[in-house]
């Protein structure tokens, strides 16, 4: 999964639940510019921290889970 995939998921959530970024941002307790900056960083894959990604995903009801891959050698 890439940061672009997270961007797509969050854009769908914003459209379904809030209709506009400004309304979603207000619900998050931030401004539209900050939310837009986070989404742009996800879209480009540049300059977003794991912490910021996790906070944003949590707000929209998602969580990031790391699972060890199973390999044929094990």
Evaluate if residue 73 carries a pLDDT over 80: no
Q: Which two tokens stand for residue 17?
A: 């639940």
**What is the distance of C-alpha 10 from the center of its chain?**
5
Task: Please count the other Cβ atoms lying within 10 Å of the Cβ belonging to residue 33.
Answer: 11
Question: What region, left, alpha or beta, does residue 47 occupy, with left being phi > 0 and alpha being psi -120 to 50 degrees?
Answer: left
Mean pLDDT across 35-42: 96
Q: For position 74, what pLDDT does the model report? A: 60
pTM, entire model? 0.82
Q: Terminus-to-terminus CA distance in the chain, angstroms?
A: 24
Give the whole-angstrom CA distance, residue 41 versus residue 29. 19
């Amino acid at each position: 999964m890439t940061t672009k995939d997270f961007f797509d998921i969050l854009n769908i959530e914003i459209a379904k639940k809030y209709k506009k970024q400004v309304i979603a941002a207000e619900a998050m307790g931030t401004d539209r510019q900050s939310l837009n900056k986070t989404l742009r960083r996800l879209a480009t894959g540049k300059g977003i921290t794991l912490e910021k990604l996790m906070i944003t995903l949590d707000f929209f009801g998602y969580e990031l889970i790391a699972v060890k891959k199973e390999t044929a050698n094990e």
